[in-house]
Structure 1
Amino acid sequence: MKVTVDQDKCVGSGQCVLTAEAVFDQGDEDGLVVLLNPTPPDDLADDVRHAAEMCPAAAITVED
């Protein structure tokens, strides 16, 4: 699995952090998504996919 984020699309809702905190964080200054792990382990795959689905700005891309 490979995860990418587009900070230009991000609106800072934080849904990704709530769903997969081991993979996503938010910047302190702007609240935009910070990708902590672009290749998360398989046991986080469902959470990462769910985070991508929940993102209101479609700023997260997941490739298998």
Structure 2
Amino acid sequence: MNGRRITADRDRCIGAGMCALLAGSIFDQDDGDGRVLVLDPVPRGELGAVLEAVAVCPSGALSLDEG
């Protein structure tokens, strides 16, 4: 995933958790409010899972930016 960076808009996140289910080593949920936490903003693997998580996020809070 050279140069790609994951960003998450926590204000937009509704805490559905699809991202954490699809790519648990990249995403987690905050214990307090359930909103997304990006564990690795520049992941080295799991491109397919990251792309799927971005695509299925119901609130559109996730994006994958090209570096």
Q: Which has the higher helix share?
A: 1
How large is the Cα RMSD of the aligned pairs?
Answer: 0.7
Give SS of 2:31's match. Answer: coil
Aligned equivalents of 1:20, 1:3: Cα separation in 2: 12
Give structure 2 stretches of 5+ with no counterpart.
none
Task: State the partner residue of 1:55.
Answer: 57
Post-superposition, which runs of at least 4 consecutive aligned residues in structure 1 deviate over 4 A?
A: none
TM-score normalized with structure 1 length:
0.94
Number of residue pairs matched? 63
TM-score by length of 2: 0.90
Which of 4, 7, 21 aligns to 1:4? It is 7
Q: Is residue 16 of structure 2 the alignment partner of residue 13 of structure 1?
A: yes
Cα separation, 2, equivalents of 1:27 and 1:52: 18
Give the percent of matched residue pairs that are identical in Structure 1 and Structure 2: 38
Tell me, which stretches of 5 or more residues in structure 1 are unaligned? none
Counterparts of 1:13 and 1:27 in 2: how far apart (Å)?
A: 12
